[in-house]
């Protein structure tokens, strides 16, 4: 374990709390605000665009710099397989559990990487992108979790409680990364590539089909806007 300062610990907590906790914020917004179906689809597509930018510019490209293209591609494929298995397990438990698992699982590798790299700060952009996307995901997910027969039985309190627990996981993992993964560039690169593969699986299995099921222009431009904003954040903030 490397020596870390109080400032580093507080920085990790703040960044990972934002990255993970915004899904809880999105669910709260969705409960308090009535969104039309078109708006939900556009919000979902916007989140997909954000995630595409995050996966490409803050994960795959960064991973390739440290482990090379072949290892990056294999890790990327491994992440897609992991998410496939996790999704199959979650679907057996009910739709709501699957959505919640998607929110929680994708935050695990990013949180480790953020914690590990916090001293040099190259993953601030990644945490911002994940945090912004989780707001849109929370907004879109709440309606689905409360519609029909899910693991939450149309109980808002269960949704809030489960999401609050998952929102705390990135903080814990960020601290693990801070204390145990600093300087381990290759390990962090594999974590990023695996995460990117999982994100692309989730995007094409769930988010993109839902957002474009009615083939309307608004969700398409939502995705375009999300990608542009994500790319701009990476370039402005760095890493």
pLDDT tens by residue, 28-66: 888 888 888 888 888 888 988 998 998 888 889 988 999
Contact 19, 11 (CB under 8 A): no
How crowded is the C-beta side of 70, counted as CA atoms within 13 Å?
0
Residue 70: the pLDDT is 97
The model's pTM is: 0.81
Distance CA 153, CA 174 (A): 32
Residue 178: the pLDDT is 81
Contact 201, 85 (CB under 8 A): no
Per DSSP, helices labelled H in the chain are 6-32, 37-53, 61-93, 95-116, 124-145, 156-180, 185-202, 208-211, 217-237
Return the closest-CA partner of residue 229 out of 107, 121, 132. 132
Residue 1: the pLDDT is 57
Residue 102: the pLDDT is 58
Least confident of 2-16, 20-34, 117-131: 117-131
């Amino acid at each position: 374990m490397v020596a870390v300062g109080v400032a580093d610990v507080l920085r990790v907590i703040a960044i990972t709390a934002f990255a993970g906790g915004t899904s809880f914020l999105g669910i709260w917004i969705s409960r308090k605000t009535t969104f039309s179906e078109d708006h939900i689809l556009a919000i979902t597509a916007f989140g997909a665009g954000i995630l595409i930018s995050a996966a490409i510019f803050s994960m795959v490209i960064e991973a390739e710099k440290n482990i090379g293209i072949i290892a990056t591609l294999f890790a990327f494929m491994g992440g897609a397989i992991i998410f496939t298995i996790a999704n199959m397990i979650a679907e057996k438990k009910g739709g709501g559990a699957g959505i919640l698992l998607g929110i929680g699982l994708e935050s695990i590798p990013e949180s480790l990487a953020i914690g590990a790299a916090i001293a040099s700060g190259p993953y601030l952009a990644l945490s911002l992108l994940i945090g912004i996307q989780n707001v849109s995901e929370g907004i879109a997910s709440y309606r689905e979790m409360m519609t029909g027969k899910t693991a939450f039985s149309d109980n808002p309190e269960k949704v809030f409680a489960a999401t609050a627990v998952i929102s705390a996981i990135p903080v814990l993992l960020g601290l693990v990364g801070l204390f145990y993964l600093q300087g381990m560039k290759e390990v962090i690169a594999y974590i990023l590539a695996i995460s990117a593969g999982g994100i692309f699986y989730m995007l094409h299995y769930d988010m993109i089909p839902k957002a474009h099921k009615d083939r309307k222009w608004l969700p398409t431009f939502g995705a375009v806007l999300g990608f542009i904003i994500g790319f701009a954040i990476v370039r402005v903030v760095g890493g």
